[in-house]
Structure 1
Amino acid sequence: MRPIITLLSDFGARDPYVAEMKGVILGICPEAVIVDVSHEVEKFNVAVGAFLLASAVRFFPKGCIHVAVVDPGVGGPRRPIFIETESGYLVGPDNGLLALAAEREGIKGVYEIKPGRYTLRMISSTFHGRDVFAPVAAYLARGTPASTLGVRVEGYAGISVFRSLPRRGWAEATILYVDSFGNLITGLSWRDAEEAGFPSASMFEVESKGRVFKALRASTYSEVGEGELALIPYGSHGFAELAVNRGDAAGLLGVKAGDRLSVKVTS
């Protein structure tokens, strides 16, 4: 199988940044298959990038290299790293972006990337995606040993937004992501939802920004009436979701990614 490298960033499609990264990769590893996960991550939103990365990684074959660049601290003290997991490699800044995917996939080792033979000769202080992460990913795809490309280190930056507060009959969490349908993916994992008793409940009160909304438990969007708010404990990405059947939950609640909300069982 040809080596697969995925790319995720907040670069958008207007500028040549993604193409420059691909050019670097193909110059080093011409046989690489490059897959774009998304380049429309909200600017500088590391938490959203972390969620999207972790969501996509688990569906790729073992041995893939996943490059993620949402890097508001580029050129600063944060380290450029790659993480070897049970399923492949994650390459990017050590700012929490790789944390959720790494923990889900199982960590084998963390490596700090040092400038040198396996990065571009001239490294910009503002574009490590092209000058550091892309070449290292390409060399990994060629089979270069991890110990050759980086120095093994202990630990990596976590990200607190994924920590929720569940207890029986109630939970508080951050909205991780709002998809293009307005569905809200919360920081409540399936296990958190079970701990709070959501799968066996039928009705809830959802509170955010001082406003309270009624929600019904559902397993599909169409299980509630059109325009009704549903809480889906077992969302498709491993987290509980809030959705409006044929509507926009984010618009109804007036919330966005990063906002907090609480959910209380009422029956």
Structure 2
Amino acid sequence: MAIITLTTDFGYKDHFVGAIKGTILNNLPGISVVDISHAISPFNIQECAYILKNAYRSFPSGTVHIVGVDSELSPENQHIVVQVDGHYFVSANNGVISLITSEIKPEKVVELNIPNINSGSFPVLNVFVQAACHIARGGKLEVIGKPFDALKELRQFEPRILNNGKTITGNVIYVDNYGNVITNIQKSLFEAYRNGRDFEVIARTNKLKTIQESYNDIINFDLDKAQRKGPGDALALFNSVGYIELAIYKSDLNTVGGASTLLGLNYRDIVTINFL
């Protein structure tokens, strides 16, 4: 069964998501439509890329992904379809695809050219849905687009290696629903330079000397509950996709706060690792 996923910054208050799903189901009754996220911060390309990059690989090959962030057509923001890693991405040419596929070369890229369609102010519905349904039916990209070789590239922040390999500086690239702060420092890079040394993770005035493998690893269950670390304590861990993450154990942004608020960290802020 064909699958179409949706990743947008539309939220759920308005009619947009419902209209998109209804139109897909009218075109392809019985198809699976899967929401990846509709809570992307408005026009935040980097946030969209982080979420979609870490989700799309969990879907079967041949899945079609509609990317509804900064999608309005302009001479510098063309509508495209990119075939890469066995998947299809229907998006605007705003750089999000380059961030998602930074390590993989696209197999095919076309600029959409569907006859008798006006993208208007709702191109995800008027254009992207039509393209996605065509692909999901098994249609060829050449029928709905022409070859395109001007894929816009955005550069992600890259960690820097300083002090003859004794220091890694990275940046915050994402803040999740719990207020956990994800950096661009991957476990593989950290281990490549650690060489068995002790270390400290520094974020503003906060220092952590351990990186956990899970949130519960912060707790020493051999200690009495009154002596343990627990809710409200800060920790660093390697998250499920291999990045160093800073968190507050069992945090809640709506009540006590999370790492982003309690540690004073936001997008692009610097996080440093010193090997001792």
What is the TM-score of this pair, normalised by structure 2? 0.84
1:107 is paired with a residue whose SS is coil
* Change beyond 3 A, Cα 1:74–1:129: same
Any conservation in 2 of the 1:47–1:159 contact (CA below 8 Å)? Answer: no
Matching residue of 2:221:
none
Q: Deviations over 1:158-209 (max 9, x none)?
A: 2223433245232222322211222111122333333442x845441413xx
Q: Which runs of structure 2 are paired with 1:189-208 in the superposition (5 Å)?
A: 189-197=186-194, 200-207=196-203
Structure 1 position 223 matched with structure 2 position 239 = no
Report deviation, 1:148.
Answer: 1.6
Report deviation, 1:95.
Answer: 0.9
2:135 is paired with a residue whose SS is helix
1:63 is paired with a residue whose SS is coil
Q: Which runs of structure 2 are paired with 1:86-97 in the superposition (5 Å)?
A: 86-97=85-96
Report deviation, 1:144.
Answer: 0.6
Any conservation in 2 of the 1:83–1:111 contact (CA below 8 Å)? Answer: yes
Matching residue of 2:66:
67
Report deviation, 1:238.
Answer: 3.1
Any conservation in 2 of the 1:176–1:186 contact (CA below 8 Å)? Answer: yes
Q: Which runs of structure 2 are paired with 1:151-190 in the superposition (5 Å)?
A: 151-167=146-162, 168-190=165-187
AA matched with 1:237: V
Any conservation in 2 of the 1:54–1:104 contact (CA below 8 Å)? Answer: no
Report deviation, 1:76.
Answer: 5.3
Give the greater-gyration-radius structure (CA).
Answer: 2
What is the TM-score of this pair, normalised by structure 1? 0.86
In structure 1, what is the Cα distance between the partners aligned to 2:150 and 2:102?
A: 12
Of residues 198, 206, 221 in structure 2, which corresponds to 1:213?
206
1:99 is paired with a residue whose SS is helix
In structure 2, what is the Cα distance between the partners aligned to 1:265 and 1:6?
A: 41
* Change beyond 3 A, Cα 1:241–1:205: closer
Any conservation in 2 of the 1:6–1:65 contact (CA below 8 Å)? Answer: yes
Any conservation in 1 of the 2:73–2:119 contact (CA below 8 Å)? Answer: no
Structure 1 position 112 matched with structure 2 position 106 = no
Of 126-135 and 64-73, the range deviating more from structure 2? 64-73
Matching residue of 1:32:
31
AA matched with 2:242: G
In structure 2, what is the Cα distance between the partners aligned to 1:144 and 1:72?
A: 23
Matching residue of 1:135:
130
In structure 2, what is the Cα distance between the partners aligned to 1:88 and 1:133?
A: 15
Any conservation in 1 of the 2:71–2:92 contact (CA below 8 Å)? Answer: no
Size of the aligned set, in residue pairs, is 256
Structure 1 position 259 matched with structure 2 position 268 = yes
In structure 2, what is the Cα distance between the partners aligned to 1:140 and 1:174?
A: 37
In structure 1, what is the Cα distance between the partners aligned to 2:18 and 2:45?
A: 22
Report deviation, 1:222.
Answer: 2.4
| Alignment root-mean-square deviation, CA | 2.2
* Change beyond 3 A, Cα 1:191–1:94: farther
In structure 2, what is the Cα distance between the partners aligned to 1:14 and 1:223?
A: 38
Of 53-62 and 63-72, the range deviating more from structure 2? 63-72
Report deviation, 1:149.
Answer: 1.8
Any conservation in 2 of the 1:29–1:139 contact (CA below 8 Å)? Answer: no
Of residues 232, 246, 253 in structure 1, which corresponds to 2:250?
246
* Change beyond 3 A, Cα 1:166–1:139: farther
Structure 1 position 77 matched with structure 2 position 76 = yes
In structure 2, what is the Cα distance between the partners aligned to 1:166 and 1:156?
A: 29
2:61 is paired with a residue whose SS is coil
